[in-house]
Structure 1
Amino acid sequence: MSHSVNSILSQIRSYQTLASQPLPAADVARSNAIEGLAGIRPASAPVASFTDTLQGALADVNRAQQVSGALAAAFERGEPGADLAKVMVASQQSQLAFRATVEVRNRLVQAYQDVMNMPL
């Protein structure tokens, strides 16, 4: 069980690394103009605790979902920079990140229940 949790956590860390990489200038400008996401930036300081890591992963999932929604809305409005391929890729990325987060949550709940059911 711990191997699968470690695997999922490593996947979340890789998503966090990918999310912290800078976007091309055109994508950043379009994202900022689309939904006013200028205030959302990845954390640049290294995380030290499990809580910080988990909060960072949740923030990355949230950001991926916001960017996906912004691109979908731009595509629906017919804006020239938002093509269907980018919308679909962003949608799949946010969906995959959300599924991984739910799986980590399920594993943590199961681990908590296992500990609580241990005989003293």
Structure 2
Amino acid sequence: MIKAIDPNQLLTQMRALQAQASPATQPMPSGEAESNGRVDFGSVMQKAVNEVNDLQKNSGDLKTAFELGDPNVNLADVMIASQKASVAFEATLQVRNKLIEAYQEVMRMSV
């Protein structure tokens, strides 16, 4: 049976992710960043990359389990995990591309 996407649940998840990404909720490793109210960009990116890596590992584990005939793993779970990993990777790649583009634009500016 195919499960329909619940828009309310999707909206709730999006709001939770937005709350995680807001600067007020991000933990700051250095005391200076906390006092200035700045977000440590490196730690935010490292956390995002680690989450993408976890999704890809989970997807790979589910694929392997399904291929080996594990009765507790069904095809729908494998495909959903694979798509989650794919979307997360693509989003991270797009963010990286935008950052590189912004950096190049700043470097082209004359002072």
Give the TM-score category using the shorter length.
0.5 to 0.7
The two structures have a TM-score, normalised by structure 1, of: 0.62
Residue 56 of structure 1 aligns with an amino acid whose one-letter code is K
The Cα shift of 1:47 comes to: 3.0
Residue 98 of structure 2 aligns with an amino acid whose one-letter code is R
Are residue 75 (structure 1) and residue 75 (structure 2) matched? no
Counterpart position of 2:78: 87
The match for 2:90 among 96, 99, 120 is: 99
Secondary structure class of the residue paired with 1:112:
helix
CA distance in 1, matches of 2:74, 2:27: 35
Counterpart position of 1:34: none
Unpaired stretches in structure 1, ≥5 consecutive residues = 1-10, 18-45
CA distance in 1, matches of 2:51, 2:90: 13
Q: Residues 47 and 53 of structure 1 are in contact (CA less than 8 Å); yes or no, is this contact kept in structure 2?
A: no
Larger RCO: Structure 1 or Structure 2 (Cα < 8 Å, ≥ 6 residues apart)? 1
Cα-to-partner distance string for 1:13-53 (whole Å, 9 max, x where unaligned): 829x6xxxxxxxxxxxxxxxxxxxxxxxxxxxx53321111
The Cα RMSD (Å) is 2.1
Counterpart position of 2:47: 56
The two structures have a TM-score, normalised by structure 2, of: 0.67
Larger gyration radius, structure 1 or structure 2: 2
Residue 117 of structure 1 aligns with an amino acid whose one-letter code is R
Identity of aligned residues (%): 44
CA distance in 2, matches of 1:50, 1:112: 14
Residue 47 of structure 1 aligns with an amino acid whose one-letter code is P
CA distance in 2, matches of 1:89, 1:112: 35
Cα-to-partner distance string for 1:82-101 (whole Å, 9 max, x where unaligned): 10000000000000000000
